[in-house]
Amino acid sequence: DRFDTLSAPFLRVLKTIADAGVRNNTPVTLCGELAGKPISAMALIGLGFRSISMSPASIGPVKAMLTELPLQELKDFFKDNLMAPSLGTPMRALLQAFADDRSI
């Protein structure tokens, strides 16, 4: 991979897009390989995306993650960490720790 798709700058851009959709009452869907990975799908949901698409093989693992996901805690996580990531800790590591702490 050329860059981490869960980097804070990239996630901030995605959040801006999701927020613009909400402000303008326009559905925003994200499709592709990013949505097909459970940790990435968790990030997308936390950023405000409510419509994601993925390959059929990814549906089971992503659905299993979503059924365990505490959405309000995830929103709070992004509120606390997205604009000022913890002392340079990569967002991917912070998201993985969030998931691990909740046995997701």
List, for residues 93-102, the tens digit of each pLDDT value. 999 999 999 9
Q: What is the mean pLDDT of residues 5-11?
A: 92
- Domain hosting residue 49, numbered range: 8-81
Asked whether residue 93 is domain-assigned, the answer is: no
Upper half-sphere CA count for residue 25 (Cβ side, 13 Å): 0
User: How many folded domains does the chain comprise?
Assistant: 1
Residue 86 has a pLDDT of: 61
Residues 6+ apart with CB under 8 A from 56: none
Asked whether residue 95 is domain-assigned, the answer is: no
Q: What is the mean pLDDT of residues 21-33?
A: 92
Asked whether residue 74 is domain-assigned, the answer is: yes
Residue 57 has a pLDDT of: 94
Asked whether residue 2 is domain-assigned, the answer is: no
Q: What is the mean pLDDT of residues 10-36?
A: 93
For all residues of the chain together, what is the average pLDDT?
91
Residue type, 44: L
Q: Is the pTM of this model over 0.85?
A: yes
